[in-house]
Every structure is written in C-alpha cells, then in structure tokens.
C-alpha cells in the first residue's frame, strides 16, 4: 500500500505509545505546537486491548486538534498490537490511520518504508492473562506478532521506489539494544524465547540487506520497542532507537523525549 501526504511540511517519528493516544496528540499539537506535520508511530500503539468502539471514541476526541493544527498520524504495528487492525486497516481516518506492513509513505520529498512486528518477551505472562474470560473482541497477545520477511513485497518496492527512510518496530541485530540481560528471567519460563528473539532481529537484517543490495538511498532508520534512546551511524545509515513517547523530527535537531 502507498500513502501520499503532499501537504505535509514536517515529519516526526514517535516511539511506543501503549494506548496513550490523547497524550501523543496533545504533545504534538499543543505542547510542541507542531503544524502541517505527519507523525509516524513506530509500533506498540495499543490496538486490540479495548473493544473497537473505544478507538473511534478516542479519534472523536483528538480529531479536532489534528484538524486545527493540520496534522496527521500514521501508526505501524508493534507486538502490543492486534495485527488485524493494520492488515485490515480497521482504523483508516484521513488524519489517523493504521497501515499494513511493507507500506510506503511519501511526504516532504521522502519515501518511507514501514514494517512492524516484534517478539513479546513477556508472552508467557500475556498468554496466561489472555486465557482468562474476556470479551471476544479484546485480547492481550497475538501469536502472529513476529516481523516477517516478504520477498515479493520487497522486490516490488525495490523496483518501484527509492526508499530513503525506514520505520520499523524492532531493529536489525547490529543495532542497540544488544544486551540480553532483560531476556534472561523471561527465558527461564519460555524455552524458545532467545531463539525467537534472534530470528526477529535476523529478519530485520534480511530486510536491511535487501534494501542495500538494491541500491536504495537509505539515510535514516527509526525504531522503538526497547524503551530506550540511542542513535548511531552504521553502514552509512543513521539508526535511531526511540524511547516511549519520544519524538524525533526528520531533517532537524528537534528531539523530544518523554517528560
């Protein structure tokens, strides 16, 4: 899928928001007074934990601010998201939408590739919670949370577009977070966790390799997931890990962390 935003003058990438939609829009439109801006949320938006009507109520609350400031919000899936909201584009308002994996966004002369997914290190706990009686419309865990390598989608993208920006939820294996200290306690209860986390990062390696092999003019790669902030240039690309609710603006020194 391709989404064009010809009227956008600024692009901001945001780290995980975990359901704090109103806080995110307040920060964008009021606290920082941004206008004519496209905000891309790098996963863990929080879709699926509430009934569908809840998210429409949220949009009704925030839409006035988005329209007044002439801002747009695009969200990619994280591991704390129901993939159906993204694959089926269940939230598809003009100024507030979920996009499927391997979507292309064009804005401000940038071509942005968006790919979601990651492994929940707490999945054993979330599966336990998910087994309790709940509404059939809500859940805590989705088995298809892993990022996936789509050879055909990448071939088409490499053939049709010149991608300079990538936004994902997790990251290639050569980026932070490199330490696995936080995984060890969970792995004692989840015997395939370490292996699956390695596969997660290896999938992003394959995506990066495909883009570089195709000669894509990559300059920036943004991701969330790890709840920390870090940036470094690797293989000629500036990789930026965003903390929860951290904003980072393209082509700017603006960098607003959670306050």
Query: Does residue 67 contact residue 95 with C-beta atoms inside 8 Å?
Result: yes
Which helix (H) or strand (E) segment is 231 a member of? Answer: strand 230-234
The model's pLDDT over 17-73, given as tens digits with 9 standing for 90+, comes to 999 999 999 999 999 999 999 999 999 999 999 998 999 999 999 999 999 999 999
Instruction: Break the chain into its structural domains and give their ranges.
Output: 2-256
- Quote the pLDDT of residue 138: 77
Rg (C-alpha) for the chain, rounded Å, is 17
Cis peptide before 63 (omega within 30 of 0): no
Q: Is the pLDDT confidence value at 259 over 90?
A: no
Mean pLDDT in residue range 181-204: 93
Q: In the predicted model, what is the mean pLDDT of the chain?
A: 93
Which residues make beta-bridge pairs with 92? Answer: 97
The contacts of residue 145 (CB under 8 Å, 6+ apart) are 79, 83, 117, 118, 119, 120, 123
- Quote the pLDDT of residue 133: 63
Query: Does residue 26 contact residue 88 with C-beta atoms inside 8 Å?
Result: no
Cis peptide before 177 (omega within 30 of 0): yes
Task: Tell me what percent of the residues of the chain surpass a pLDDT of 90.
Answer: 85
User: What b/e string do you get for 64-100 counting C-beta neighbours within 10 Å, with b at 16 or more?
Assistant: ebbeebebbbbbbbbbbbbbebbeeebbeeebbbbbb
The model's pLDDT over 122-144, given as tens digits with 9 standing for 90+, comes to 999 988 876 666 666 678 899 99
How many Cβ atoms sit within 10 Å of the Cβ of residue 51?
13
CA–CA gap between residue 25 and residue 246 (Å, rounded): 13
Mean pLDDT in residue range 96-117: 98
DSSP, residue by residue, 56-111 = HHHHHHHHHHHHHHT-EEEE---TTS-THHHHTT--EETTEEE--TTEEEEETTEE
Q: Was domain 2-256 assigned CATH 3.60.21?
A: yes
The model's pLDDT over 26-36, given as tens digits with 9 standing for 90+, comes to 999 999 999 99
The model's pLDDT over 142-167, given as tens digits with 9 standing for 90+, comes to 999 999 999 999 999 999 999 999 99
Check residue 43 and report its DSSP letter: S
Query: Does residue 237 contact residue 221 with C-beta atoms inside 8 Å?
Result: yes
Check residue 230 and report its DSSP letter: E
Which residues make beta-bridge pairs with 254? Answer: none
């Amino acid at each position: 899928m391709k989404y064009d935003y010809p009227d956008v003058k600024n692009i901001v990438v945001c780290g995980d928001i975990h359901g704090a939609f109103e806080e995110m829009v307040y920060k964008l439109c009021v606290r920082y007074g941004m206008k004519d801006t496209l905000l891309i949320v790098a996963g863990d938006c929080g879709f699926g934990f509430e009934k569908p009507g809840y998210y429409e109520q949220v949009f009704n609350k925030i839409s006035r601010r988005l329209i007044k400031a002439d801002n747009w919000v695009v969200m990619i899936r994280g591991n704390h998201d129901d993939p159906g909201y993204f694959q089926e584009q269940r939230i598809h308002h003009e100024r507030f939408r979920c996009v499927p994996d391997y979507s292309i966004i064009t804005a401000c002369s940038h071509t942005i590739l968006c790919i979601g997914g990651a492994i929940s290190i707490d999945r054993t706990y979330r599966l336990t919670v998910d087994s309790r009686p709940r509404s059939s419309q809500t859940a805590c865990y989705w088995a298809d949370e892993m990022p996936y390598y789509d050879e055909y989608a990448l071939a088409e993208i490499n053939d049709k577009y010149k991608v300079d920006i990538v936004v994902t939820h997790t990251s290639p294996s050569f980026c932070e977070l490199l330490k696995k200290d936080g995984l060890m306690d969970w792995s004692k209860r989840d015997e395939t966790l370490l292996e699956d986390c390695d596969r997660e990062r290896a999938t992003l390696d394959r995506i990066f390799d495909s883009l570089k092999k195709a000669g894509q003019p990559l300059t920036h790669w943004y991701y969330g997931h790890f709840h920390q902030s870090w940036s470094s240039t690797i293989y000629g690309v500036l990789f930026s890990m965003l903390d929860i609710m951290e904003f980072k603006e393209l082509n700017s020194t603006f960098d607003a962390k959670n306050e």
